[in-house]
Structure 1
């Protein structure tokens, strides 16, 4: 007897802006390089351009101003996400801080892409802060989300140089170029069942990952010092 095919992992995506990382996910799914399915796109900004990248049936949005509290908004958002039965929830340019109850509800399934080499520069204005501090290197990180802002275990990072004369916009554009392949490389590990969160530690193939994986020039993830991709 042939084995029963496994269904593609179901991914819910949280967005607040243009949705370029969402588009990268959609393109990878369409080309067959990411065996997954988008089951919903969720936003705290009903006018977010990212919502237009998927069909109306996959969109959910609401303004936090219409809710009595931050917790009430996040509960409604969580209920909408839960209804889609996602395997993974990806914050891809979602600019609102999630409350503790939401994070705990989806613990171990909640990933975020952040435009800095964490633990440096959590929060906003990462590019301008890196330039002001005279950093020679900047980049992006994908990490598990915990209640503390941008403090969860980092799965992987991509590095870019900070060049003389860079302003925040120029550096942001260079970082965005590596964000897309970085996020996709991590999601491939996730949907393959190779990635997990165990407390404050990330595990890869069941083994603790104490140092973030690094994205190489070919778009593959490697352990620091390793000769081949993971």
Structure 2
């Protein structure tokens, strides 16, 4: 479970988040939506400990966010919007390094499964510096899923992906959710979010404008796009 309680974050005169208060339940596939500058990236970065709230609290499974804590590293998988990877290592070496950090004793089978899902198996032993942008994005997604973390945070996860990789990623997200993982997606692709997410949150100017799920859309006979636009206008 993820809980934001009265979270404020400012950048000088610019608002990052404004009294952000909401809860994401265990097993949710949660879509974090909003226009550019809405506070999505700020929210994600605070959740993984890259930024700290000016006021308020964020907890994961009842514990304050602390990226230096060994147990927190095991619990969270994160794919940033613009992933940074060590160019002089291979994808396999990076995955084994991540597995070591998470104390995964025998990660080979899981690594091969993830490489297969994102069509990286044939290039897994090539240096990252030889990879295309899309292949780097796929490697970053593999890193987010390694170790079956309890919380998986994917910032613009469809960036750089071909249609088959998007399909396989959706299958992985559903599989990990069924196993009890909480998954948070920050995305501009409303159609992707509508098809896979069990709940949605709409941010604008750092404030949470709406929380909803597929049942709410059906009751209102709206698409997610219509729901999204209505709450930004209203």
Q: TM-score, normalised by structure 2?
A: 0.31
Q: TM-score, normalised by structure 1?
A: 0.31
